[in-house]
């Protein structure tokens, strides 16, 4: 039994490696650099460094395909959009030598292109934010359906550069008036192919994780975000398992319509109103939470790929909390404290009992050490003013 997992530096890859490696499966792990987090896991049997899938997708596909053939890998999990999309474009080649339990390229691309996602939501009667798509700044003058503040987003999360992503995940993608909108939209348009201007929806983030088999749902898992980094909206640093039936129904409507296959996570903003934010058509950053709550998505997907189907217990523990401490929750704390100076917040942050952790696992400590070293380098660069605290460290 064997599995190849990409994205060795990502938290989700580490959870996959631990989940499936503990079942006695031979787990091979790929990444762009040596010494990445999941490479350090004791459950990582072999390591493979490949070309950047973001900047050299053809070379990446060729290298990974060759590795899979040479090592006779049975199941392949590309973990991130940059790693998944080039593979799906050549899926017929991979299907001849391994199992890649994900939908086809066209289906996944509908989840990555946000305007396509919102068209789908409208068709499925799923609420979403009012949105306008533009390709040049002059079109801003034609917008009269949105009230300030607004949110500025690239139309796709894979078409923009690292520099643009740093802009996208900070407060620079919010505009409080028309002049700010023109200035910030111009800045992001220089780095991306198109922009969505969207109403700002107040509330907290909630997600629904799913497993599908050729259009048929197998299990749903919901959770709410307690803390995020960046604090204006980003990956969750603390989250809690829930059983939100309404959000599960919305997620099912969307994924049924797509005839989904494999895992996905549907993200919503919940406050005075509910609004769809995005669909992640692959493993998501907080996959450790369902793992500790009783829904082992990595192993379920692996068994489904191996056996053709899988029996799933739909029940799981509600109220389980899982935390991304290093450096996610630390960065959340520092930015929150610097912005609001809330001394009472210290007690919340320095409470460590009652949580599971994305990276920290006493059965498999080396990845935690590696993460801590990376975090220390990050904070050193911040203190030396070589990098900003808001936005660049997002995994």
Given CATH 3.40.50.20, say whether it is the number of domain 2-100: yes
* Lowest mean per-residue pLDDT among 71-80, 290-299, 334-343: 334-343
Beta-ladder partners of 205: 269
Using an 8 Å Cβ cutoff, are 246 and 260 in contact? no
Task: Report percent pLDDT > 90 for the chain.
Answer: 67
**Model confidence pLDDT, tens digit, residues 287-320:** 999 999 999 999 999 999 999 999 999 999 999 9
What is the residue extent of each domain of the chain? Answer: 2-100, 104-125+203-395, 130-199
What fold is seen in the domain 104-125+203-395? D-amino Acid Aminotransferase; Chain A, domain 1 (3.30.470)
What fold is seen in the domain 130-199? Dna Ligase; domain 1 (3.30.1490)
Those residues with Cβ within 8 angstroms of residue 128's Cβ, 6 or more apart along the chain or in another chain? 117, 118, 121, 122, 275, 276
Q: Is the pLDDT of residue 166 over 70?
A: no
Using an 8 Å Cβ cutoff, are 318 and 243 in contact? yes
Position of tokens 């599908």? 212
* Lowest mean per-residue pLDDT among 101-110, 126-135, 261-270, 341-350: 341-350
**Angle (CA) 356 41 33, round 5°:** 115
Distance between CA atoms of residues 13 and 6, nearest Å = 7
Domains 2-100 and 130-199 share a fold: no
Position of tokens 């590795």? 67
Q: Is the pLDDT of residue 164 over 50?
A: no
pLDDT band at 165 (very low <50, low <70, confident <90, very high): very low
Q: Is the pLDDT of residue 170 over 50?
A: no
Phi, psi of 34 (to 5 degrees): -70, 155
């Amino acid at each position: 039994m064997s599995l190849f997992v990409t994205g060795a530096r990502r938290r989700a890859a580490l959870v996959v490696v631990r989940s499936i490696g503990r079942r006695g499966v031979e787990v091979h792990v790929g990444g762009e650099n040596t010494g990445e987090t999941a490479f350090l896991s004791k459950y990582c049997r072999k390591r493979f460094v490949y070309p950047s899938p973001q900047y050299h997708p053809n070379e990446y596909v060729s290298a990974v395909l060759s590795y899979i053939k040479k090592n006779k890998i049975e199941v392949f999990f590309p973990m991130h959009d940059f790693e998944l999309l080039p593979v799906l474009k050549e899926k017929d080649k991979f299907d001849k030598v391994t199992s890649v339990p994900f939908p086809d390229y066209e289906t996944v691309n509908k989840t990555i292109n946000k305007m396509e996602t919102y068209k789908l939501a409208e068709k499925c009667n799923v609420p979403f934010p009012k949105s306008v798509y533009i390709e040049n700044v002059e079109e801003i003058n034609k917008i009269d359906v949105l009230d300030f503040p607004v949110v500025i987003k690239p139309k796709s999360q894979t078409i923009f550069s690292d520099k643009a992503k740093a802009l996208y995940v900070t407060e620079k993608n919010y505009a409080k008036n028309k002049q700010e909108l023109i200035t910030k939209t111009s800045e992001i348009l220089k780095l991306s192919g198109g922009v969505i201007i969207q109403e700002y929806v107040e509330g907290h983030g909630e997600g629904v994780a799913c497993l599908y088999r050729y259009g048929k749902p197998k299990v749903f898992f919901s959770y709410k975000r307690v803390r995020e980094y960046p604090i204006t909206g980003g990956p969750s640093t603390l989250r809690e398992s829930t059983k939100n039936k309404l959000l599960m129904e919305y997620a099912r409507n969307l994924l049924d319509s797509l005839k989904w296959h494999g895992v996905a996570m549907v993200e919503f903003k919940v406050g005075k109103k509910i609004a769809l934010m995005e669909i992640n058509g692959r493993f998501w950053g907080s996959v450790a939470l369902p793992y500790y709550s009783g829904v082992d998505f990595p192993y379920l997907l692996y068994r489904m790929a191996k056996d053709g189907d899988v029996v799933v217990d739909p029940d799981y523990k509600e109220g389980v909390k899982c935390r991304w401490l290093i450096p996610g929750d630390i960065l959340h704390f520092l930015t929150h404290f610097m912005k609001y100076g809330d001394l009472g917040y210290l007690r919340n942050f320095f409470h460590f009992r009652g949580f599971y952790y994305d990276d920290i696992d006493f059965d498999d400590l080396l990845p935690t050490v590696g993460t801590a070293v990376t975090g220390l380098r990050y904070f050193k660069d911040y203190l030396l003013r070589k990098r900003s605290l808001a936005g660049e460290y997002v995994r």
